[in-house]
Amino acid sequence: TSSPDLKAFERRLTEYIACLQPATGRWRMILIVVSVCTATGAWNWLIDPETQKVSFFTSLWNHPFFTISCITLIGLFFAGIHKRVVAPSIIAARCRTVLAEYNMSCDDTGKLILKPRPHVQ
């Protein structure tokens, strides 16, 4: 049987991870859209015959869609989007590390997993 404290902890952990899911989904969509825009812009930039004939900065100036989407993607990574798209996994992994000390674990949704007690002889 699990104690009321464990049940309350599990309830709070699952609630917190579930609360992160909508924001995580939005950040993933933003990352996908900006990545696709950057890739499309990069393709257009690379196949343009003028790119080889002009300086690097002039070629970037001639392709504002690629330049803006690339700067946006770099800015998102500096802002920590790579952590925000995996935030629930980070929380669950950190909880697993702490719970291992108490012979427990949790799944990706925050449900506790009670491991059998080791037998001492």
Annotated domain spans of the chain: 12-114
DSSP 67-113: HHHHHHHHHHHHTTHHHHTTHHHHHHHHHHHHHGGGTEEE-TT--EE
Q: What is the pLDDT of residue 116?
A: 83
Looking at this protein, which amino acid is placed at residue 16? Y
Does pTM top 0.85 for this prediction?
A: no
Q: Is 78 exposed, middle or buried (0-12, 13-18, 19+ CB in 10 A)?
A: exposed
Taking 60 as the threshold, does the pLDDT of residue 1 lie above it?
no
Reading the block at residue 1, the tokens are: 């049987």
Those residues with Cβ within 8 angstroms of residue 5's Cβ, 6 or more apart along the chain or in another chain: none
pLDDT tens by residue, 48-95: 999 889 999 999 999 999 999 999 999 999 999 999 999 999 999 999
pLDDT tens for residues 3-39?
Answer: 899 999 999 999 999 999 999 999 999 999 999 999 9
- With cut-offs at 50, 70 and 90, classify the pLDDT of residue 121: low
Give the DSSP H or E segment for 44: helix 4-47
